[in-house]
Amino acid sequence: MVRLEVSQHTEHKEVAACVEWGPNYELMSGSDDMQIVRWSVDGDMLAKTTLDSCATSIAWMPSIGKSVSDLYAVSCTDGTYRLMTGNGREDRKVRAHHGAAIRVAWTFDGTALYSAGEDGELKVWSKTGNLRSTPIKAASPIYCFAIGASEEVCYACDRKVHVSSVGERKAQSWKAHEGIVLCVDWNTVNNLIVSGGEDCRYKVWDALGRQLYQSQPYAHVITSVAWTPNGAYFAVGAFNMLRLCDRTGWSCCREHAGGGSILDISWTTDGTQLAGASGTGAIVLGQLVDRCHEWNYFEVTLETPRLVVVNDLSNDTYEKLDFSRDRVVEMAVGYGHLVVTTTTQCYVYSTSNWNTPYIFDTPQTLSLVLLSDRHFLGMAPSSLTIYAYDGGRKVSQPRFHGLRTEILSATSISLAPDVVAILDGADKKLVRLFDVATGAPRAGVETIQHKKDVTFLALNQNMAGSFVRQLIVIDSNKELHVYQTNAASHGHKLQTQVDAASWHDKSEMLAAIADGQLLVWAYPQIVWIDRDLLPSTVTSKDVGTEVGKLPTIVSFRDSRLVARRADGPLVTATVSPHPAALFGFASTGRWNEALRLCQFVEDEPCWAMMAAMAINDRNLDVAEISFAALKLIDKLEYVLYIKGLPSEEATNAEIALLKRRPEDAERILLQATPPLLYRAIKLNIRLFRWGRALELAVKHRSHVDTVLAYRARYLKDFKKEEKDDRFKQLNDSVKWDWAQIKAKKDLEKKEEYARAGKPMPEKDKNSCFPSGGLGEYKITAQDRGELRSRCSTGPKKPGGGAVPGWGMMASMPRA
């Protein structure tokens, strides 16, 4: 369990009121002794600056790009704020409020400074100290405020918390505590607000004011709260108490600060170390330790800020990795590698050799590391960089206009072996796709536009077989959608009321926790192959009592899914191992083993998954067996019809039509050499796309009479009248005859069979298939009855033999 390793450092002689980390991991603290003290990251005092008033808050101007800011603002009890440089020189003194200026904060781009005071006013200033506006005038002092991601400010007055957009007078407000609200913080990554007050509680809210968590009442008032930059944790300060909490509210650890009340808390930009200003004047430093990551048999734990311990559970051995030069910032393990970042370097270990890592310097500290099979991604304060495991070679640097890394996290970035997906900070409905090798926008599909704000996204990691790179998103309505990134397509909604979702690490399985149910999709790609089979591939399990509300998925590997409850404990659930094994067989072309597995387990999701994978791989024999096992007579007959087609283009077109892609099917037929015009026209007639069928016939000046004849038959059968002016006009000028239509059709089919080197079969009166098109037999109405009665054991030919493919399966030994 993650915890804080706390130390105290004393230099101030009076109450320490505020702390703030600078861009170079230097800490600034202010006190009632009118001193501004600069500290090193280890707690050593570096310099002092004397003011003529007591400091109440410090705000360091954000660094823009690669340039490091050297300017910070200090609010004081005399109603002024000061603009000061890093060496302690005062650049400007600005009279801001009547009474004390309580707090100052910069916008994320450093273009404006906000200040709040005892006069109840919140003001906006330019970075040179000129007043821009006074958007808020409250009746009570504003003790705390926080700036949101999109020009919004959250502030507290008396017992209420308000959220207002700059320039709008109307604010959304709600009663937050039974006492005066003393502290509030708003995280731009998870869009959650945490507040604390004199009622001795801290609470977590969403941006709309809905309460997500409420703590128990403690012995003393809550004096400070602060989110980590990545939104994973927040710290709570009170009298002799420093508490680290998960984003959902539950407490990870409690440390006895021993320095009186913690009046202010500040986190470093990498979110691994905090500083607190205490009532006795001591500065409290806390480092996140005991962070643990697991992968296969390896358990990696950060025991101290500079020591990582690797436990190999397969042979019960330990490896100690000592980082004496710098403290550890981030680490990640997976895909046979361990990546550890410090404040200045990056270490890449192989799980087979812990002695000789690749080490390279990083221009900026990497605060987030994401792994994939071939590369890993590191996020710095101003850039995203993709590295190779061998030597830490820089592969690419995805970038776009408006990229803001401070609002990105592991839930808004996803890395796959060939593509990286990034949520646009300016438009939360837009997901940008980049090629890993070049860092450029992905060819063909550069963006995916969702209809609602995206709160979570993830790419599947599979690279085997005829893969399709897929992206899942969970939006603000808690709906789970899946998209293709290989080709432009509309997304498909899989589930509603989804709390968490995760891809399997090796196969195409997708798991989600929704409304107390654990849902597992064996093969989500099936939505683009045969959507009718999707329900057959979904298994569900009631886990509501185990996972509770608002769970998160920690990992999904092999046949085990690990979820974390909203109150902290880990819960393990098991899923079927068969879909992952089946995918492994089919993706590598081992269809015999896949069929034996399906025959052995006799599981409907496995047969449906097998049918979809076979259709996608154009393996019609396996598809025939799978549809027969599923007792889907209509699909079985259609597969048998496809197998009897003479040309490869016709076969591919019908498979595309089976996948509900009629445009692709038509294009395949028209691009054949020579074009299969009759089949393209007949395809549109079968789909009742009469306008398109007539358009093709007129364009190619052939089979116009065919379209008119089938149209006349359709209207007669359904007892309708012609209302289309195009058909009315052609009916007056074009005469058709069924004998001539049949002759033209037979001629084209004969030429198609001749090109394929096959004799044209005779048409059976009672069959919709050509005799001989299925091998050496034909299907009649009697055969269809036989199919329905014997699907579970295998369809039979009239002579008693099995349908092709079943003989192969019958000869296989059972697993």
Q: What is the per-residue pLDDT across 483-500, written as a single tens digit (0 to 9) for each? A: 998 877 788 999 999 999
| Confidence at residue 88, expressed as pLDDT on a 0 to 100 scale | 85
Contacts of 369 (CB under 8 A, 6+ apart): 330, 331, 332, 339, 341, 376, 377, 378, 379
Asked if residue 173 belongs to a domain, the reply is yes
Angle (CA) 287-291-297 rounded to 5° is: 155
Predicted confidence (pLDDT) at residue 64 exceeds the cutoff of 80: no
Predicted confidence (pLDDT) at residue 701 exceeds the cutoff of 60: yes
Mean pLDDT along residues 178-189: 94
| Confidence at residue 281, expressed as pLDDT on a 0 to 100 scale | 92
Task: Please name the residue that has the structure tokens 């823009």.
Answer: 64
Q: What is the per-residue pLDDT across 363-390, written as a single tens digit (0 to 9) for each? A: 889 999 999 999 999 999 889 999 999 8
C-alpha span between 238 and 241 (Å, rounded)? 5
C-alpha span between 33 and 28 (Å, rounded)? 14
**Do 169 and 255 belong together in one domain?**
yes
| Confidence at residue 800, expressed as pLDDT on a 0 to 100 scale | 40
Q: What is the per-residue pLDDT across 703-755, written as a single tens digit (0 to 9) for each? A: 999 999 999 999 999 999 999 999 999 988 888 999 999 998 888 888 888 88
Mean pLDDT along residues 609-618: 93
Asked if residue 370 belongs to a domain, the reply is yes
Which has the closest alpha carbon to 508: 547, 478, 474, 463?
463
Asked if residue 62 belongs to a domain, the reply is yes
Tell me the pLDDT band of 550, cut-offs 50, 70 and 90: confident
Of 245, 274, 289, the residue at which a domain comes to its end is 289
Asked whether the beta carbons of 334 and 296 are under 8 A apart, the reply is: no
Asked if residue 98 belongs to a domain, the reply is yes
**Do 282 and 298 belong together in one domain?**
no
Mean pLDDT along residues 678-702: 94
| Confidence at residue 654, expressed as pLDDT on a 0 to 100 scale | 95
Mean pLDDT along residues 557-576: 92
Of 289, 305, 334, the residue at which a domain comes to its end is 289
| Confidence at residue 168, expressed as pLDDT on a 0 to 100 scale | 63
Asked whether the beta carbons of 297 and 314 are under 8 A apart, the reply is: yes
Return the higher-pLDDT residue of 802 and 122.
122
**Do 274 and 312 belong together in one domain?**
no
Asked whether the CA dihedral 378, 384, 386, 387 is positive or negative, the reply is negative
| Confidence at residue 786, expressed as pLDDT on a 0 to 100 scale | 53
Predicted confidence (pLDDT) at residue 814 exceeds the cutoff of 50: no
Q: What mean pLDDT is reported for the chain?
A: 88
Asked if residue 497 belongs to a domain, the reply is no
**Do 106 and 210 belong together in one domain?**
yes
Asked if residue 383 belongs to a domain, the reply is yes
| Confidence at residue 766, expressed as pLDDT on a 0 to 100 scale | 39
**Do 321 and 229 belong together in one domain?**
no
**Do 313 and 364 belong together in one domain?**
yes
| Confidence at residue 165, expressed as pLDDT on a 0 to 100 scale | 80
**Do 179 and 211 belong together in one domain?**
yes
| Confidence at residue 74, expressed as pLDDT on a 0 to 100 scale | 96
What is the per-residue burial (b if ≥16 Cβ within 10 Å, else e) of 323-344?
beebbbbbbbbbbebbbbbbbe
Asked whether the beta carbons of 555 and 769 are under 8 A apart, the reply is: no
- For residue 619, CA distances in Å to 533, 590, 652, 775 come to 17, 12, 11, 16
**Do 249 and 108 belong together in one domain?**
yes
C-alpha span between 683 and 165 (Å, rounded)? 56
What domain range is 305 assigned to? 290-397
At 123, is the secondary structure helix, strand, or coil?
A: strand
Asked if residue 347 belongs to a domain, the reply is yes
| Confidence at residue 810, expressed as pLDDT on a 0 to 100 scale | 34
Tell me the pLDDT band of 811, cut-offs 50, 70 and 90: very low
C-alpha span between 404 and 718 (Å, rounded)? 60
Own/partner long-range contacts of 676-679 (Cβ < 8 Å, ≥24 apart): 676/647, 676/649, 676/650, 676/748, 676/752, 677/702, 677/703, 677/748, 678/703, 678/706, 678/744, 678/745, 678/748, 678/749, 679/650, 679/653
| Confidence at residue 775, expressed as pLDDT on a 0 to 100 scale | 32
**Do 45 and 151 belong together in one domain?**
yes
Output the domain CATH number for residue 380. 2.40.128.630
| Confidence at residue 23, expressed as pLDDT on a 0 to 100 scale | 84
**Do 128 and 35 belong together in one domain?**
yes
Whole-model pTM? 0.87
Q: What is the per-residue pLDDT across 392-432, written as a single tens digit (0 to 9) for each? A: 899 999 999 888 888 899 999 999 999 999 999 888 999 99
Strand partners, 518: 513, 541
C-alpha span between 724 and 715 (Å, rounded)? 12
Predicted confidence (pLDDT) at residue 307 exceeds the cutoff of 90: yes
Of 378, 397, 416, the residue at which a domain comes to its end is 397
Asked if residue 468 belongs to a domain, the reply is no
For 804, the token pair is 């092709």
Give the chain's domain count: 2
**Do 53 and 128 belong together in one domain?**
yes
Tell me the pLDDT band of 462, cut-offs 50, 70 and 90: confident
Output the domain CATH number for residue 38. 2.130.10.10
**Do 241 and 120 belong together in one domain?**
yes
| Confidence at residue 167, expressed as pLDDT on a 0 to 100 scale | 60
